[in-house]
């Protein structure tokens, strides 16, 4: 085999090897990213359920004024899981509190929910009739 053919086959072989390693590395990093995202979503669901538990423990109140700041106050008192970021924002269009969860770096919002006192069953029975 001439030297030129040997060198050309080595170049082709090393290119194929590099491409294979790159694809393998990309697949491994994507699998790790998916696992981290799944763990964050589990933490978000735990946090959401904890908040609902604390909100539903509140006594019934008048919801006619549309003031939802008490929901925000309760949510601020609850700790957030490590690696998770919770943003609370009073809704301007309807009475309620927007709760947005994202990763700790805040790069993307993973979940968001609009929470209202009526939706949690916290309004007095006279208002619902």
What angle in degrees, to the nearest 10, is found between the helix axes of 69-77 and 3-56? Answer: 120
Helix-strand-coil split of the chain, %, nearest 5: 50, 20, 30
Q: What is the pTM of this model?
A: 0.68
How confident is the model at residue 13, as a pLDDT?
78
Beta-carbon contacts of residue 74 (< 8 Å; ≥ 6 apart): 51, 54, 55, 58
The per-residue pLDDT of the chain, averaged, comes to 82
pLDDT value for 110: 83
By the 8 A CB rule, do 36 and 28 touch?
Answer: no
Whether pLDDT at 82 is above 80: yes
* pLDDT (0 to 100) of residue 127: 52
pLDDT digits (tens, 9 = 90+) for 97-122: 999 998 888 777 788 999 988 888 88
| CA angle 122–53–36, rounded 5-degree value | 135
pLDDT in tens, 11-39: 787 877 777 767 777 776 677 778 888 88
% of the chain residues with pLDDT over 70 = 91
Number of neighbours of residue 55 by Cβ within 10 angstroms: 20
Q: Which two tokens stand for residue 33?
A: 């990213």
pLDDT classification of 65: cutoffs 50, 70, 90: low
């Amino acid at each position: 085999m001439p030297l030129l053919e040997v060198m050309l086959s080595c170049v082709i072989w090393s290119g194929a090897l590099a491409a294979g390693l790159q694809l393998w590395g990309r697949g491994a990093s994507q699998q790790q990213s998916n696992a981290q995202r799944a763990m964050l979503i589990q933490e978000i669901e735990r946090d959401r359920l904890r908040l609902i538990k604390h909100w539903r423990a509140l006594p019934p109140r008048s919801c006619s004024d549309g003031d939802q700041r008490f929901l925000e106050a309760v949510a601020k008192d609850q700790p957030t899981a490590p690696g998770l970021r919770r943003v609370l924002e009073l809704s301007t269009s309807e009475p309620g509190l927007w709760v947005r969860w994202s990763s700790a770096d805040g790069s993307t919002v993973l979940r968001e929910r609009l929470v209202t006192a009526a939706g949690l069953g916290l309004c007095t029975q006279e208002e619902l009739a």
